[in-house]
């Protein structure tokens, strides 16, 4: 949870890189897949069978086409006869909510922290960077587990716990970019005409770090989803009746010999979403890295 990606964005007005967005296959197809997952999360529980409806006559029914769609369950059912596709859709809501909420909180904290650290160079910057080093040295997964145990297993506590160890990467990346921008000629010219610091931040620093902010968000989301899935898999994630992909995978693991599809589909969703988000981040890195366009 402590990897830092070095990336430089050219100073001055932001180039029109959004036009390269759809011309990058990795980014395009990742967004298509993530859009499908988002639609599944939003519409699956509404259009499909009730995810909480128990069917005692159809426990652990295999998925289509093994049992045929006559049973009415594309992904089969769980041990209580509940439709697994609808449960996976509900799990997508929880997993994506935790992932994106963690990214928003972590990126917001990291951007503010990194910006202030770069603006107030000297002892303040040194102290702020040493604090990040201390956070990196902590066993993050163990602290998140302890935090979840003491604060409860609700979504807010999970988001807060995951954010505590996600923002330092953003802070370091943004700090490095702001330090680089401060040494550019356009900053001296801005000050020479009486420009204020707040306008410099809003007009130049934020636009020129927007690519990095988006990139760090795409890195934070899959790590948060994977960590939450790990916690839920071992029974320390979201509390019932809520269920994430990790919760469903944990339930499926207990019955893997009887109903392997109960583990297969949640695990497939976790794996596919991780791949899509990582490919998205990799594609965005190519778009925002000026060295790729020389």
Report the CATH number at residue 138: 1.10.3720.10
Contact between 173 and 7 under an 8 Å Cβ cutoff? The reply is: yes
Global confidence as pTM: 0.82
Distances in Å between the alpha carbon of 123 and those of 102, 105, 112, 130, 260?
30, 26, 18, 11, 57
Look at residue 15 in the predicted model and tell me its pLDDT. Answer: 42
Contact between 75 and 111 under an 8 Å Cβ cutoff? The reply is: no
d(CA 236, CA 96): 18
Look at residue 9 in the predicted model and tell me its pLDDT. Answer: 40
What count of other Cβ atoms lies within 10 Å of the Cβ of residue 156? Answer: 11
In a domain, 171, yes or no: yes
In a domain, 22, yes or no: no
In a domain, 32, yes or no: no
Look at residue 194 in the predicted model and tell me its pLDDT. Answer: 67
In a domain, 30, yes or no: no
Tokens of 129: 């960077």
The contacts of residue 232 (CB under 8 Å, 6+ apart) are 238, 244, 245, 246, 247, 249, 250
d(CA 112, CA 193): 26
Q: How many domains does the chain have?
A: 1
Tokens of 180: 């680089």
Look at residue 195 in the predicted model and tell me its pLDDT. Answer: 66
Phi/psi at 65 (5° precision): -95, 10
In a domain, 17, yes or no: no
**Coil, strand or helix: which one is 130?**
helix
In a domain, 18, yes or no: no
Contact between 73 and 49 under an 8 Å Cβ cutoff? The reply is: yes
Look at residue 13 in the predicted model and tell me its pLDDT. Answer: 41
In a domain, 6, yes or no: no
Domain span at residue 167 reads 39-53+74-293
d(CA 3, CA 277): 16
In a domain, 27, yes or no: no
Contact between 284 and 211 under an 8 Å Cβ cutoff? The reply is: yes
Q: Per residue of the chain (294 residues), give pLDDT as tens.
A: 444 444 444 444 444 455 456 677 888 889 999 999 999 999 888 878 888 888 888 888 888 777 665 467 889 888 888 999 999 999 999 999 999 999 999 999 999 899 888 888 788 888 999 999 998 888 888 888 888 777 777 888 889 888 888 899 889 988 888 888 877 777 777 667 766 777 777 777 877 888 888 888 888 999 999 988 988 888 888 887 888 999 999 999 999 999 999 999 999 999 999 999 999 888 887 776 655 544
């Amino acid at each position: 949870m402590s990897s830092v990606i070095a990336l430089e964005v050219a100073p001055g007005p932001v180039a029109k890189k959004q036009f390269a967005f759809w011309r990058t296959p990795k980014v395009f197809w990742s967004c298509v897949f993530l859009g499908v997952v988002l639609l599944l999360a939003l519409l699956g529980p509404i259009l499909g069978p009730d995810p909480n409806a128990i069917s005692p006559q159809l426990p652990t029914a295999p998925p289509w086409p093994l049992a045929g769609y006559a049973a009415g369950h594309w992904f089969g059912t769980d041990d209580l006869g509940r439709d697994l596709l609808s449960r996976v859709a509900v799990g997508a809501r929880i997993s994506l909510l935790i992932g994106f909420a963690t990214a928003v909180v972590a990126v917001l904290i990291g951007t503010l922290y990194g910006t202030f650290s770069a603006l107030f160079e000297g002892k303040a910057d040194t102290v702020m960077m040493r604090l990040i080093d201390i956070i990196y040295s902590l066993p993050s997964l163990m602290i998140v587990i302890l935090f979840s145990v003491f604060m409860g297993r609700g979504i807010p506590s999970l988001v807060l716990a995951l954010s505590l160890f996600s923002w330092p990467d953003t802070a370091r990346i943004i700090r490095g970019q702001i330090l680089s921008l401060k040494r550019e000629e356009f900053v001296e010219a801005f000050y020479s005409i009486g420009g204020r610091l707040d306008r410099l931040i809003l007009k130049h620093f934020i636009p020129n770090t927007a690519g990095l902010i988006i990139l760090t968000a795409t890195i934070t989301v899959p790590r948060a989803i994977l960590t939450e899935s790990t916690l839920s898999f071992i029974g320390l994630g979201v509390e019932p009746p809520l269920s994430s992909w990790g919760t469903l995978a944990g339930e499926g693991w207990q019955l893997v010999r009887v109903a392997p599809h109960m583990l297969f589909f949640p695990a497939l969703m976790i794996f596919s979403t991780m791949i899509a988000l990582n490919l998205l981040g990799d594609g965005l890195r190519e778009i925002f890295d000026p060295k790729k366009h020389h």
